[in-house]
Amino acid sequence: MKSKGTETNKIARKVVTRTTTLQVELNSSRLLSPLALMFIAVPLPTVSIDRVVAILIDEKALATKPLVILDVRPEEQFVKGHIIGAEHYPRFLLCREHYETESMKRVGTQGTLTVCGQIYGAGQVVSTFRDRGHNAVLLKGDLDSWRCKYPEGLLTTANDKSIKLELSKLAAQLAINRKPAFERAGFLKATTSSINRNKVREEMRQRSQTNKRRAWR
């Protein structure tokens, strides 16, 4: 039979071993904490398309705090469609000494750089801009989601190279997008039907003009 003294010694050794292990773990965590903090991701400031539209239609606000929209998507995507007034910004420019565009120089650090192209590394661009002293934010969403909310007056298309925002249309659409979802759904359905009817009328008008221009045989 084992003596009580032997069992007591074993228990004591276990307690000492466990205490030492805890001390090592605590000391290790203290040593690694500063290093671990370096890898904690800091959330980037973001902005919604509704907020951007609200700023774009407020000319007085733009005069005091200008806004530049930089699109970092591939150029072929940018050409197919983008926010009217946005500037294509290739990411490789960040590696250059003179990385600022003329628009960026014009607004300086007082304005806001709104970067879009979330799945194409826009977050990295925003982070770099902020490290260099710019007030940069990430525009949430993509072209399809923006077009869904603002079908008219905000975006260019392959066939429509508009260079000027249609502020009145944007203001009307913004007012609708700010409504509760159940109200917005009914309005958007009616608006879509109206847009489709207008397209049909325009196609019929163009066909009529084409038929009139055909030569007699």
Rounded Cα distance, 104 and 68, in Å: 7
pLDDT digits (tens, 9 = 90+) for 75-99: 999 999 999 999 999 999 999 999 9
CATH top-level class of 46-177: alpha beta
Domain ranges of the chain: 46-177
Distance CA 125, CA 116 (A): 10
Are 106 and 92 in contact by the 8 Å Cβ rule? The answer is no
Place of tokens 């607004």: 107
> For the chain, what is the total number of helices (H) and then of strands (E)?
9, 5
Rounded CA-CA distance 68/213 in Å is: 45
Q: Which tens digits make up the pLDDT trace of 148-198?
A: 999 999 999 877 777 899 999 999 999 999 998 766 666 556 555 666 666
Q: What is the pLDDT of residues 39-77, one digit of tens each?
A: 455 689 999 999 999 999 998 889 889 999 999 999 999
The mean predicted confidence, pLDDT, of the chain is 80
